[in-house]
Every structure is written in structure tokens, then in C-alpha cells.
């Protein structure tokens, strides 16, 4: 899952959700994060950052 952090472009609707909040919500549905990565925007936009989460069901 990818989460975009930064200003919302005109004409688009987005919600401010952190990786930590998403991981907690996932845990309440028996999912856990097996990989979490954050990085700058791939297109070089200085005000945009990304979080990438890999979630897995608990067996």
C-alpha cells in the first residue's frame, strides 16, 4: 500500500493518514506490517513524501 503525504492538488480529494495510524488500523483487522518504507517523491516534488506498507494476515 502506498500513502502520499503532502498538499492536496486542486480538484482532488485526499485524506491525511499517517503510516503509523494505518498500521494500527490494520492490526485491529488481524494484519501486521512486514515492511515499512518512507521516501521522497519519485518525481522530485519537494513537498511530497511517500510511505509504502506491506501488510500480511496473522496466521
Backbone angles phi, psi at 20, to 5 degrees: -60, -45
Q: Say if residue 54's pLDDT is above 90.
A: yes
Q: What is the pLDDT of residue 58?
A: 76
Percent of the chain with pLDDT over 70: 98
Q: Of 28, 24, 32, whose CA–CA distance to 57 is shortest?
A: 32
What cell does 43 get?
Answer: 518525481
Angle 8-15-49 from CA coordinates, rounded to 5°? 60
DSSP 52: E
Above 90 in pLDDT, residue 59?
A: no
Average pLDDT, the chain: 96
Amino acid at each position: 500500500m502506498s500513502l502520499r503525504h503532502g498538499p492536496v492538488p486542486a480538484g482532488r480529494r485526499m485524506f491525511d493518514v499517517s503510516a503509523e495510524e494505518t498500521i494500527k488500523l490494520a492490526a485491529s483487522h488481524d494484519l501486521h506490517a512486514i515492511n515499512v518504507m518512507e521516501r521522497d517523491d519519485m518525481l522530485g516534488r519537494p513537498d511530497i513524501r511517500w510511505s509504502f506498507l506491506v501488510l500480511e494476515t496473522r496466521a
